[in-house]
């Protein structure tokens, strides 16, 4: 293959130039491309709009390509990664034939369904690297692809002879379709007989939301002389017609239609430059001509490779004592955090603005937990742009999005979780160009104004929320309308959203607001039923008492089995269906831990730290939770709050690599736009965020040393030199026996807290962990626990933990009279630790 001969040696030289360590050597984009990972494994720039890959006809082709025995049906340049819902995008696919039998275009197969028969391939023909993707079809056609930000470049290399034994006369078609066959009426396509340029547009549906979007395209060819061109409709084609406007179709399946170009010979590979634009054909063509002026595959692929190397460079780990598969898991996870959201600045036809525009927030319920917090460390400038885009979306649509794809609103899963994203960025000092007064107005609107249709923005049930302090099951709500389920998970998420709002209010010195939202952030307690027990389906008692339960408007209790919608419940309907339950995609057992801001009070309600640890163990050991869905993430690390940070580290290792293998089928579920990737990256770094708070929970890293250089305006500088934050482990043995932190130092001084704040990164500090083979007292005293709004109670002195005196001496949260002390959470800075 020409691709292999020319490109790889150059990449290798590039790698040597930056020294022995090249993070790209450890990225495998194919991880998650099968088995429901739904990862986009193709060629893209970081946050790029153009995402070129081979699309298959798998029933799990949300990310375009799969390695599950499905057939290739085309090569397209727009995708999302890791999503559930319908397959996203995949618009205007190309498909190549070496020739049409007998030279008759009607002997080529045009419709997507039937041309799948020509799309078989063997897995080992697939090459995927950051910025490039290649595959050889069993027909002998090799397809390599790469991308700039807006434009995909495909290189098709054909055999000398076609299937009929005649010399190659390649035909490349372009189809007015998308992965989910959502094309609406009046798609159009034109092919220029002289240049072969194919242009057109069509309207499609978003994959998990309302509305539709109009997408334009512009495709050019290079490498061989044009023989002829034309259009096809259904299974018939003609070289005598160059323009087509086509109906949506009949019987549900869009009528196949598109254009094609035929070439005289295949002595050279044929390059296809294809751009899409949400603005116009002219803009698609301009982007194409500007970004890829001369169809130089090598130049484009090297630029993409270089862009990825730059993005991954901030994270360096020691490779000593760890296998390549550990490194591949780690760096591939990081890579996946930067595929989506997509930077669509300049490609938003909905409003004109000088602010950035990002799309494919898919969905924020998934992203707020660790993906966006991860980017806050390694790519803070990108997060600043994303936050500006969210705020600008609020300015122009009236609301922060909860899920957004292809210019449309997506469905809200729980709370108004963009509030958490804004708070996380705010408290971590992401301010570059952000108008925080507008940001604050946006989150307050979520808390105060109920949308008429809260399917896709804001919150429902606000009257009840304010009068009763919870979302009632079977609420009476005549002001706004949405799916009246998830009353428990919405209550818990709204409570945390309000906490997040209080943190921004605090920073903006809006003290009255701060107190108000801190107060309502305690609403989760209104659904706690201390006498609720929980038994398995066979009647066996789990032995735990005290669970959240649904509550009616008249304040009496409803009932939902706390194990319903757990990983082990095969029957319940737990998503956004009308028949869904009171918890979204998760059980009362698991949501029972979702009080990220007040673990101390939760621990007390659950009977103290030991009982809390037992309950958390049961959640994991009995498989009630499943690490393949995002609510599980924080539960891995919540042992920290009960004074057992060692157990968080062990729990992380029980899931990684067992549930995350660096192979195509290795992910435990949808990657969700890189959410799973970021869970891996943070867990393996040994610093897990509690998103919306200035807190990272410390566990032993999977590497002897890690080094993170935070970029942008927040880059840590010492004497004008960029410095990295470092974690070093003494007695590191590859995670064999020494799995427990014995002691720690921060910048050389003893450090006993089990958590660290964001200044660790922005000031380039060094954390040195001394490991040992037994659990120690480190990080277990009450004063060393991570922040919580309520007071920690029931922690003993004696083994190093402090019994909190009655009346309380901790600076956290509520006073005895119910007012707030303005403790750690509510202060703009972490005064007591600076
Ligand atoms: C490779 O292809 C076969 C079908 O041809 C498929 O069943 C299998 O799962 C694939 N292997 C991997 C590792 O994805
Ligand atoms: C994919 O295409 C092949 C070949 O036409 C066909 O046998 C298979 O059933 C298709 N798969 C799906 C899920 O449609
Ligand atoms: C498509 O075009 C036809 C013919 O011009 C027109 O009657 C029809 O309303 C159009 N459909 C849509 C959805 O615009
Ligand atoms: C075909 O489409 C092209 C480009 O849109 C246009 O310039 C041309 O006039 C059209 N030709 C016919 C016959 O409609
Ligand atoms: C997003 O795109 C704009 C316009 O091309 C560019 O200026 C900006 O740097 C991009 N941001 C990121 C994070 O890639
Ligand atoms: C659980 O609670 C129900 C209802 O209060 C009660 O009937 C049952 O006996 C309890 N089970 C156990 C094991 O306590
Ligand atoms: C009931 O189910 C639970 C959970 O699967 C199991 O642990 C327990 O042994 C079962 N009890 C009986 C009596 O079968
Ligand atoms: C409270 O409301 C529920 C649901 O409408 C109803 O079943 C129950 O009887 C009511 N209880 C009282 C005491 O009104
Ligand atoms: C939990 O799931 C794992 C992996 O599927 C299995 O090995 C283990 O036996 C399960 N545990 C229980 C208690 O069902
Ligand atoms: C750092 O760089 C700035 C701007 O280049 C310069 O003014 C300043 O003196 C430098 N400080 C040190 C400590 O070198
Ligand atoms: C601390 O030690 C006391 C007795 O010395 C013991 O009862 C308690 O369980 C220990 N606490 C923890 C968190 O291990
Ligand atoms: C496994 C199981 O029992 N699931 C149950 C969850 O709750 C609904 C409604 O009570 C039951 O119908 C399901 O069978």
**pLDDT digits 0-9 by tens, 439-454:** 999 999 999 999 999 9
- 72-76, strands of its sheet edge to edge: 43-44, 51-56, 72-76, 94-97, 171-175, 257-263, 226-233, 236-238
Among the bound ligands, name the one nearest to the CA of residue 566: 12
Among the bound ligands, name the one nearest to the CA of residue 719: 10
| C-beta atoms surrounding 98 within 10 Å | 24
Among the bound ligands, name the one nearest to the CA of residue 66: 1
Q: How far apart are CA 547 and CA 678, in angstroms?
A: 30
Q: Nearest C-alpha to atom 3 of ligand 1 is from which residue?
A: 69
What is the predicted pLDDT for the residue at 718? 77
Q: Which of 202, 206, 303 is nearest to 258 (CA)?
A: 202
Average pLDDT over the chain, rounded to an integer: 92
Residues of the chain above pLDDT 70, percent: 92
Q: Which atom of ligand 12 lies at the shortest distance from residue 570's CA?
A: 1
φ/ψ of residue 722, rounded to 5: -65, 130
Q: Nearest C-alpha to atom 5 of ligand 3 is from which residue?
A: 186
Ligand 12: which of 538, 572, 583, 589 to mutate, most ligand atoms within 8 Å of CB? 572
Q: Nearest C-alpha to atom 13 of ligand 9 is from which residue?
A: 622
Write out pLDDT tens, residues 333-362: 999 999 999 999 999 999 999 999 999 999
Q: Nearest C-alpha to atom 8 of ligand 10 is from which residue?
A: 720
- Scanning the structure block, which residue is given the tokens 């770094």? 685
Q: Which atom of ligand 5 lies at the shortest distance from residue 343's CA?
A: 1
Q: Nearest C-alpha to atom 5 of ligand 10 is from which residue?
A: 720
Q: Nearest C-alpha to atom 9 of ligand 12 is from which residue?
A: 572
Q: Which atom of ligand 3 lies at the shortest distance from residue 186's CA?
A: 1
- Ligand 10 center to 717 CA (angstroms): 11
Q: What is the mean pLDDT of residues 537-565?
A: 98
- Ligand 10 center to 721 CA (angstroms): 10
What is the predicted pLDDT for the residue at 713? 65
- Ligand 4 center to 243 CA (angstroms): 6
493 CB-near residues (< 8 Å, 6+ apart):
414, 415, 417, 594
Among the bound ligands, name the one nearest to the CA of residue 191: 4
Q: What is the mean pLDDT of residues 424-433?
A: 96
With 70 as the cut, is the pLDDT of residue 815 above it? no
Q: Which atom of ligand 3 lies at the shortest distance from residue 203's CA?
A: 13
Secondary structure of the chain: what % helix, strand, coil (to 5)?
30, 20, 50
Confidence of residue 144 (pLDDT cuts 50, 70, 90): very high
Q: Is 59 in the pocket of ligand 2 (CB under 6 A)?
A: yes
Q: Is 343 in the pocket of ligand 5 (CB under 6 A)?
A: yes
Q: What is the mean pLDDT of residues 128-140?
A: 98
With 80 as the cut, is the pLDDT of residue 770 above it? yes
What is the predicted pLDDT for the residue at 11? 36
Residues of the chain above pLDDT 90, percent: 89
Q: Nearest C-alpha to atom 7 of ligand 11 is from which residue?
A: 796
Q: Which atom of ligand 4 lies at the shortest distance from residue 242's CA?
A: 1
704 CB-near residues (< 8 Å, 6+ apart):
318, 320, 321, 322, 728, 729, 732
Q: How far apart are CA 718 and CA 731, in angstroms?
A: 29
What is the predicted pLDDT for the residue at 715? 74
With 70 as the cut, is the pLDDT of residue 425 above it? yes
Ligand 1: which of 123, 661, 662 to mutate, most ligand atoms within 8 Å of CB? 123
* Pairwise pLDDT comparison (719 vs 43), residue with the higher score: 43
What is the predicted pLDDT for the residue at 596? 98
Residue pair 568/625 in contact by the 8 Å Cβ criterion: no
The DSSP result for 350-392, as a single string, is: S---SS--EE-B--HHHHTTTHHHHHHHH-HHHHHHHHHHHHH
Would you mind telling me the total number of residues written for the chain in this entry? 834
Burial of 289-302, coded b for 16+ CB within 10 Å and e otherwise, reads: eebbeebebeebbb
Ligand 11: which of 645, 796, 797 to mutate, most ligand atoms within 8 Å of CB? 796
Q: How far apart are CA 157 and CA 3, in angstroms?
A: 10
With 60 as the cut, is the pLDDT of residue 800 above it? no
Chain centre distance of CA 50: 17
Among the bound ligands, name the one nearest to the CA of residue 582: 12
What is the predicted pLDDT for the residue at 18? 40
Confidence of residue 823 (pLDDT cuts 50, 70, 90): very low
- The model's pTM is 0.93
With 80 as the cut, is the pLDDT of residue 799 above it? no
Q: Nearest C-alpha to atom 14 of ligand 2 is from which residue?
A: 57
Range of weakest confidence among 209-213, 658-662, 753-757, 812-816? 812-816
Within 6 Å (CB) of ligand 8, which residues are found?
552, 554, 556
Among the bound ligands, name the one nearest to the CA of residue 189: 4
Q: Is 797 in the pocket of ligand 11 (CB under 6 A)?
A: no
**Residue 433 is encoded by which pair of tokens?**
């160009």
With 70 as the cut, is the pLDDT of residue 113 above it? yes
Q: Nearest C-alpha to atom 1 of ligand 5 is from which residue?
A: 343
Instruction: Identify the three-state secondary structure at position 510.
Output: coil
417 CB-near residues (< 8 Å, 6+ apart):
364, 365, 368, 402, 493, 497
Q: Which of 351, 355, 515, 552 is nearest to 438 (CA)?
A: 355
What is the predicted pLDDT for the residue at 796? 59
Write out pLDDT tens, residues 650-701: 999 999 999 999 999 999 999 999 999 999 999 999 999 999 999 999 999 9
Residue 161, burial from CB neighbour count under 10 angstroms (0-12, 13-18, 19+): middle
Q: Is 120 in the pocket of ligand 2 (CB under 6 A)?
A: no
Residue pair 479/459 in contact by the 8 Å Cβ criterion: no
Instruction: Identify the three-state secondary structure at position 296.
Output: coil
Q: What is the mean pLDDT of residues 605-620?
A: 97
Confidence of residue 716 (pLDDT cuts 50, 70, 90): confident
Q: What is the mean pLDDT of residues 585-600?
A: 98
Q: What is the mean pLDDT of residues 500-527?
A: 97
β-strand 213-222 against 142-147: which pairing, if any?
unpaired
Residue 383, burial from CB neighbour count under 10 angstroms (0-12, 13-18, 19+): buried
What is the predicted pLDDT for the residue at 712? 65
What is the predicted pLDDT for the residue at 828? 30
- Ligand 2 center to 296 CA (angstroms): 35
What domains can be seen in the chain, in order of their start residue? 32-306 (2.70.98.10), 598-808 (3.30.2080.10)
Q: How far apart are CA 334 and CA 682, in angstroms?
A: 9
What is the predicted pLDDT for the residue at 821? 33
Q: Is 799 in the pocket of ligand 11 (CB under 6 A)?
A: yes
470 CB-near residues (< 8 Å, 6+ apart):
464, 487, 491, 523, 526, 527, 551
Ligand 2: which of 55, 57, 112 to mutate, most ligand atoms within 8 Å of CB? 57
What is the predicted pLDDT for the residue at 826? 37
Residue pair 516/500 in contact by the 8 Å Cβ criterion: no
- Ligand 5 center to 590 CA (angstroms): 38
Residue pair 645/639 in contact by the 8 Å Cβ criterion: yes
Q: How far apart are CA 605 and CA 614, in angstroms?
A: 14
With 80 as the cut, is the pLDDT of residue 433 above it? yes
């Amino acid at each position: 293959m020409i691709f292999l001969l020319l490109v790889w040696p150059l990449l290798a030289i590039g790698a040597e130039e930056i020294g022995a360590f090249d993070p790209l050597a450890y990225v495998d984009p194919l991880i998650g491309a099968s088995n429901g990972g739904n990862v986009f494994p193709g060629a893209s720039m970081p946050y790029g709009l153009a995402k070129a890959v081979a699309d298959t006809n798998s029933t799990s082709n949300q990310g375009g390509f799969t390695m599950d025995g499905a057939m290739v049906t085309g090569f397209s340049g727009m995708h999302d990664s890791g999503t559930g819902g319908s397959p996203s995008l995949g618009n205007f696919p190309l498909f190549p034939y070496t020739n049409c039998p007998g030279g008759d275009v009607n002997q080529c197969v045009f419709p997507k369904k039937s041309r799948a028969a020509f799309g078989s391939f063997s897995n080992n023909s697939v090459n995927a690297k950051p910025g490039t993707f290649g595959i050889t079809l069993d027909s002998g056609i090799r397809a390599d692809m790469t991308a700039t930000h807006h434009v995909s470049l495909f290189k098709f290399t054909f055999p000398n002879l076609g299937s009929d034994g005649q010399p190659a006369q390649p035909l490349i078609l372009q189809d007015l379709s998308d992965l989910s066959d959502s094309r609406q009426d009046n798609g159009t396509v034109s092919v220029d007989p002289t240049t072969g340029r194919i242009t057109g547009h069509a309207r499609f549906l978003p994959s998990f939301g309302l509305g539709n979007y109009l997408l334009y395209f512009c495709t050019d060819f290079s490498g061989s002389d044009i023989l002829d061109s034309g259009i096809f409709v259904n299974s018939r084609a003609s070289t005598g017609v160059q323009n087509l406007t086509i109906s949506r179709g009949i019987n549900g399946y869009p009528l196949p239609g598109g254009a094609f170009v035929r070439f005289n010979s295949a002595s050279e590979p044929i390059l296809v430059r294809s751009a899409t634009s949400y603005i116009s054909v002219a803009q698609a063509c301009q982007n194409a001509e500007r970004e890829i002026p001369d169809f130089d595959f090598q130049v484009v692929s090297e630029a993409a490779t270089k862009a990825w190397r730059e993005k991954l460079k901030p994270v360096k780990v020691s490779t000593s004592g760890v296998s390549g598969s550990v490194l591949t898991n780690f760096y591939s996870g990081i890579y996946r955090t930067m595929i989506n959201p997509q930077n669509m600045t300049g490609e938003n036809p909905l409003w004109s603005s000088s602010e950035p525009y990002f799309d494919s927030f898919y969905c924020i319920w998934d992203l707020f937990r660790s993906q966006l917090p991860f980017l806050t460390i390694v790519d803070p400038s990108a997060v600043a742009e994303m936050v500006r885009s969210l705020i600008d979306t609020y300015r122009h649509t009236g609301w922060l999005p909860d899920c957004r794809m292809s210019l449309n609103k997506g469905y809200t899963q729980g709370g108004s979780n963009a509030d958490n994203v804004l708070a996380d960025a705010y408290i971590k000092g992401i301010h570059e160009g952000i108008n925080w007064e507008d940001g604050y107005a946006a989150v307050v609107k979520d808390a105060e104004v109920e949308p008429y249709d809260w399917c896709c923005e804001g919150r429902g049930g606000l009257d009840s929320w304010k009068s009763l302090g919870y979302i009632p099951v079977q609420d009476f709500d005549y002001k706004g309308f949405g799916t009246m389920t998830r009353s428990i998970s919405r209550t818990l998420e709204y409570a945390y959203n309000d906490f997040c709002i209080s943190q921004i209010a605090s920073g903006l010195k809006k003290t009255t607001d701060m107190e108000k939202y801190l107060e309502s952030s305690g609403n989760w307690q209104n659904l706690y039923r201390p006498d609720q027990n929980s038994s398995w389906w066979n009647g066996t008692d789990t032995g735990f008492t005290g669970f959240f339960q649904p509550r009616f408007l008249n304040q009496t209790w409803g009932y939902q089995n706390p194990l319903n919608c757990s990983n082990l419940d095969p029957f319940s309907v737990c998503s956004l269906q009308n028949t869904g339950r009171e918890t979204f995609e998760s059980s009362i057992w698991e949501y029972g831990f979702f009080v990220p801001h007040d673990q101390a009070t939760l621990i007390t309600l659950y009977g103290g730290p030991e009982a809390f640890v037992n309950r958390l163990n049961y959640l994991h050991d009995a498989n009630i939770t499943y690490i393949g869905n995002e609510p599980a993430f924080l539960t891995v690390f919540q042992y920290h709050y009960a004074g057992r940070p060692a157990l968080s580290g062990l729990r992380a290792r029980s899931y990684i690599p067992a549930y995350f293998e660096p192979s195509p089928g290795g992910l435990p579920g949808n990657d969700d736009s890189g959410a799973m990737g970021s869970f891996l990256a943070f867990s393996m770094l040994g610093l897990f965020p509690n998103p919306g708070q200035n807190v990272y929970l410390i566990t032993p890293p999977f590497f002897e040393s890690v080094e993170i250089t935070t970029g942008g305006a927040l880059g840590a500088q010492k004497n004008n030199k960029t410095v990295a934050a470092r974690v070093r482990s003494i007695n590191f043995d590859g995670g064999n026996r020494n799995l427990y932190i014995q002691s720690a130092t921060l910048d050389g001084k003893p450090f006993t807290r089990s958590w660290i704040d964001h200044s660790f990164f922005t000031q380039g500090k060094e954390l040195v962990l001394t490991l040992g083979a037994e659990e120690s007292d480190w990080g277990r005293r009450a004063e060393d626990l991570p922040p919580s709004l309520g007071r920690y109670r029931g922690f003993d002195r004696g083994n190093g933990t402090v019994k909190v005196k009655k009346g309380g001496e901790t600076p956290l949260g509520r006073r005895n009279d119910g007012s707030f002390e303005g403790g750690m959470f509510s202060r703009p800075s972490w005064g007591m630790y600076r």
